Amino acid sequence: MSTNTERKIAIVTGGSRGLGKNTALQLARKGVDVILTYRSKQAEADAVVAEIAALGGRGVALQLDVADSKSFADFASIVKRSLSTYWQRDSFDFLVNNAGVGIYGPLAEMSEAQFDELVNIHFKGVFFLTQKLLPLLANGGRIVNVSTGLTRFALPGYAAYASMKGAVEVLTTYMAKELGARGIAVNVVAPGAIETDFGGGRVRDNAELNRFVASNTALGRVGLPDDIGGVISSLLSDDNRWINAQRIEVSGGQFI
């Protein structure tokens, strides 16, 4: 298990782009090493590993499809080998369940296949990946699950996506309760609308939507990845060790 003299190690799912990449780099700046996962774009993941190295840290990129729960046991074995090979450790300290996709679809048009994809990635994936990694998570570690502001406010077209994130928020409370005996704190970070390629880049690239969100945000603009990664890395610092089972919305005051 980890000691105070060791560098902490975080696993960040979906760490090759967007909020996951930003989180990985923010953690590296705070002296945390990172195992990041990617689904298909290894070159992007390797570029993030190189950036982590440039910051003086160690990064390792592992392929993972969070929609494929049958692969999680093998993934956990790969994580165990990576910990031993690169860190001479048998545990890691932080898990950030970030990987996801944005599927926009009105209630009347959402297909069952789309719905199942959202379930598998955003809820089933989080549940069972965490389960399989728990034996490797150090006592006193932390988990951050990424949700969305859409669990508090409603925008047409996001019923299925937001429902999965709502389930993750309930799951977070239960994780905190059940893992408390091991000293593991579990929290939710719920971003508002962010300018990334998520969901096809709708918020970033649709000027009308961007203006609409900005006009309904107290701080007057749409969020950026830098607004989120720093919050997640801060939650994983010792300064915030007593925060547990909380939903922390990071939206600049969207729809308040």
174 Cβ partners below 8 Å, 6+ apart? Answer: none
What is residue 182's three-state secondary structure? helix
Nearest of 178, 214, 180 to residue 194 by alpha carbon: 214
Distance between the two ends of the chain, CA-based, in angstroms?
43
Contacts of 214 (CB under 8 A, 6+ apart): 220, 221, 222
Those residues whose C-beta lies under 8 Å from the C-beta of residue 126, and which sit 6 or more positions away, are 66, 97, 145, 168, 171
191, 148 contact by CB (below 8 A): yes
How far apart CA 13 and CA 48 sit, in angstroms, is 13
Catalytic site residues? 161
Are the CB atoms for 166 and 151 separated by under 8 Å?
Answer: yes
